[in-house]
């Protein structure tokens, strides 16, 4: 156990995510095998972590906006996601620090989940459709499109010819759009959410602010403005007291200007 933990800790961030995905994929399979052998009813762990499009279920289980990305339908589902994650991360994203990598991955998963919910609640074709979403595809697409956008003219060899990363990214996005009516609509919609976030992160790489930072900055500004208003009102009250005691002519030029500006606002 200790050896396995040390091995995990010493891995790069993308390999840790791959290991976690594999463990979580195997966990319900192994547990259900033991339940079967002891003649117990099998349980579905996935239903506690998959993402449903209904707002009420999301509000009651907000962790599913991210937890859905750690579960997969079958072997090929997880294999291709982890294969793309490994190739993109190992060859193109080694310059990212852990924080940047996790921001692209998890915010990409979140963007994919929000896209999925939005589409299923806005477009009439999905009315009364409550198919839950699982899979790390949105997070992987976020990393893939980030790489394709950050290195658009870098060429990779595909057996007989070279292809630029920007064309690979465009191909994957178009395939997701085209396949929405035919197969795995929710998954393909989530791909688009992850892709858009990856593109956004690439275009704002040097000045990126996470959604959390944007919200906290706004709250800080609001708090600062509120504090300023309170301080201004206290000063105005002091000036008015001074007028009542000593008259208007006793005010300094600064106090008169402040009183004038305040009267304009009101």
- Domain residues for the domain of 253 are 213-265
Per-residue pLDDT at 208: 66
Instruction: Please check whether residues 45 and 110 belong to one and the same domain.
Output: yes
How far is Cα of residue 102 from the mean position of the Cα atoms in its chain? 9
Instruction: Please check whether residues 73 and 110 belong to one and the same domain.
Output: yes
Per-residue pLDDT at 221: 67
Instruction: Please check whether residues 79 and 8 belong to one and the same domain.
Output: yes
Q: Which value, to the nearest 10 degrees, does the dihedral of the CA atoms of residues 96, 101, 104, 107 take? A: -150
Instruction: Please check whether residues 228 and 134 belong to one and the same domain.
Output: no
Are the beta carbons of 98 and 160 closer than 8 angstroms?
A: no
Per-residue pLDDT at 223: 56
- Token digits of residue 252: 């300094």
Instruction: Please check whether residues 18 and 141 belong to one and the same domain.
Output: yes
Phi, psi (degrees; rounded to nearest 5) at 252? -80, 170
Instruction: Please check whether residues 39 and 95 belong to one and the same domain.
Output: yes
pTM across the whole model? 0.77
Instruction: Please check whether residues 34 and 166 belong to one and the same domain.
Output: yes
Per-residue pLDDT of the chain (266 residues; tens, 9 = 90+): 666 778 888 899 999 999 999 999 999 899 989 999 999 888 888 889 999 999 999 999 999 999 999 999 999 999 999 999 999 999 999 889 999 999 999 999 999 999 999 999 999 999 888 889 999 999 999 999 999 999 999 998 887 889 999 999 999 999 999 999 998 999 999 999 999 999 999 999 877 666 666 666 666 666 555 555 566 677 777 777 777 777 667 777 777 777 666 665 54
Instruction: Please check whether residues 254 and 142 belong to one and the same domain.
Output: no
Instruction: Please check whether residues 34 and 104 belong to one and the same domain.
Output: yes
Are the beta carbons of 100 and 13 closer than 8 angstroms?
A: no
Structural domain ending residue among the three candidates 208, 229, 252: 208
Instruction: Please check whether residues 204 and 225 belong to one and the same domain.
Output: no
Q: Residue 39 and residue 31: Cα distance in Å, rounded?
A: 12
Are the beta carbons of 137 and 187 closer than 8 angstroms?
A: yes
Please choose, from the candidates 21, 164, 12, the residue with its C-alpha nearest in 3D space to the C-alpha of residue 90: 12
Instruction: Please check whether residues 134 and 202 belong to one and the same domain.
Output: yes
Q: Which value, to the nearest 10 degrees, does the dihedral of the CA atoms of residues 187, 192, 198, 200 take? A: -150
How many domains would you assign to the chain?
2
The label of the residue with tokens 């009315």 reads 127
Instruction: Please check whether residues 256 and 166 belong to one and the same domain.
Output: no
Per-residue pLDDT at 44: 84
């Amino acid at each position: 156990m200790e050896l396995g933990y040390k091995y995990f800790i010493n891995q790069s961030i993308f390999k840790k995510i791959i290991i976690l995905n594999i463990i979580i994929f195997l966990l319900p399979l192994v547990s259900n095998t033991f339940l079967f052998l002891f003649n117990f009813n099998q349980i579905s762990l996935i239903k506690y972590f998959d993402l449903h499009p209904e707002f009420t279920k999301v509000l009651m289980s907000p962790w599913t906006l991210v937890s859905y990305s750690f579960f997969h339908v079958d072997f090929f589902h997880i294999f291709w996601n982890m294969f793309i994650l490994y190739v993109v991360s190992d060859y193109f994203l080694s310059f990212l620090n852990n924080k940047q990598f996790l921001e692209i991955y998890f915010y990409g998963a979140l963007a994919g989940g929000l896209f999925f919910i939005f589409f299923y609640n806005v477009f009439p074709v999905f009315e009364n459709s409550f198919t839950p979403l699982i899979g790390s595809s949105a997070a992987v697409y976020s990393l893939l499109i980030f790489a394709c956008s950050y290195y658009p003219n870098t060429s990779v060899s595909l057996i007989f010819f070279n292809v630029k990363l920007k064309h690979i990214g465009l191909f994957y996005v178009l395939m997701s759009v085209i396949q929405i009516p035919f197969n795995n609509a929710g998954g393909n919609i989530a791909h688009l959410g992850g892709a858009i976030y990856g593109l956004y992160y690439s275009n704002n790489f040097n000045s990126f602010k996470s959604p959390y930072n944007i919200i906290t900055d706004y709250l800080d500004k609001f708090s600062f403005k509120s504090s300023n208003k309170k301080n201004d009102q206290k000063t105005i009250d002091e000036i008015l007291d001074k007028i009542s005691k000593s008259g208007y002519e006793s005010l300094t030029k600064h106090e008169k200007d402040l009183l004038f500006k305040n009267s304009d606002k009101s």
